[in-house]
């Protein structure tokens, strides 16, 4: 049993404050920018320096919009339908992983089509910094005492201030699993695979991990599964279909 009581605000000067969650987004933005600039310089992707800056800025805006819309629709529709003034208050939390992923994919597809770029090649490049961003995001969730696990009598649990019961540390489980996935993808990236394989492999494992881990998450269930599990299950089936059809060949 462990009690976590970390101030989610790193520092503040007047009305300006830096939180761990905002720090994650800053680090994610800078890491992705660095990776894409290097890929552009190495001719791995046909983007100019100016295009890289434009893409990264618009990508993060798309992620925030998608993440907020999904959270509004699938998690807190009743609340936000009567508190529309809080819809843009992302600093108060409420960002959906699946929505952020959808926003990133939709925007990237549009951007790649407009600029005649291979989407899957770009996806294979950006998915590694994205995996790191998701690891840090779960650590920020832990500090913010959000995305809570179910209460348990197990000795492996965390007490949060003003939150009843000792909870499964699912934020840590998720962070460890995503870090292992990042390490695995980095390990196999040097091998020659068909474009898009790294991207779809990431989607497969991240969806599978989310589906399984959410059984320990304190969420509302719909037909025995949470909204996050249903979305993960849909993504999992789509990814398996694509992998089997285009990347994995079986010989009987």
| Side-chain half-sphere exposure of 152, counting CA atoms within 13 A | 18
Residue 92: closest CA among 102, 105, 106, 79: 79
Residue pair 219/149 in contact by the 8 Å Cβ criterion: no
Residue 243 Cα to chain centre, angstroms: 21
Reported pTM: 0.87
| Residue 34: predicted pLDDT | 94
Walk along the chain (252 residues) and give the pLDDT tens digit of each residue. Answer: 678 888 888 888 877 888 888 888 889 899 999 999 999 998 888 889 999 999 999 999 999 888 888 877 776 666 555 556 555 555 555 678 888 999 999 999 999 999 999 999 999 999 999 999 999 989 988 988 888 899 998 888 999 888 888 999 999 999 999 999 999 999 988 788 889 999 999 999 999 999 999 999 988 788 889 888 999 999 999 999 999 998 887 544
In whole angstroms, give the CA distance from residue 166 to residue 169: 9
Please give the structure tokens belonging to residue 171: 């934020």
Residue 226: closest CA among 83, 81, 96: 96
| Residue 220: predicted pLDDT | 78
Residue 134: closest CA among 98, 159, 160: 98
Q: How far apart are the first and last CA of the chain?
A: 51
In whole angstroms, give the CA distance from residue 130 to residue 188: 16
| Residue 252: predicted pLDDT | 41
């Amino acid at each position: 049993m462990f009690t976590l009581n970390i101030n989610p605000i790193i520092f503040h000067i007047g009305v300006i404050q830096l939180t761990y969650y905002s720090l994650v987004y800053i680090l994610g933005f800078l890491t992705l920018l660095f990776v894409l600039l290097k890929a552009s310089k190495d001719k791995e992707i046909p983007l100019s320096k100016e295009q890289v800056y434009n893409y990264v800025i618009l990508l993060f805006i798309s992620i925030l919009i998608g993440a907020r819309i999904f959270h509004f629709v699938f998690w807190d529709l009743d609340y936000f339908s009567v508190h529309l003034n809080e819809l843009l208050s992302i600093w108060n939390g409420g960002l959906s992983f699946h929505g952020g992923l959808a926003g990133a994919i939709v925007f990237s597809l549009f951007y790649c089509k407009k600029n005649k770029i291979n989407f899957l090649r770009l996806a294979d490049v950006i998915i590694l910094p994205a995996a790191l961003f998701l690891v840090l995001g779960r650590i920020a969730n832990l500090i913010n005492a959000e995305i809570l696990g179910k209460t348990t009598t197990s000795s492996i649990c965390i007490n949060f201030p003003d939150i009843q019961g000792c909870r499964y540390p699912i934020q840590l489980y998720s962070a460890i699993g995503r870090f292992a996935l990042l390490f695995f993808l980095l390990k196999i990236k040097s091998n020659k695979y068909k474009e898009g394989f790294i991207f779809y492999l990431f989607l497969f494992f991240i969806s599978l991990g989310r589906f399984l881990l959410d059984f320990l998450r304190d969420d509302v269930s719909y037909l025995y599964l949470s909204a996050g599990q249903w979305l993960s299950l849909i993504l999992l089936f789509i990814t398996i279909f694509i992998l089997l059809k285009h990347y994995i060949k079986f010989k009987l």
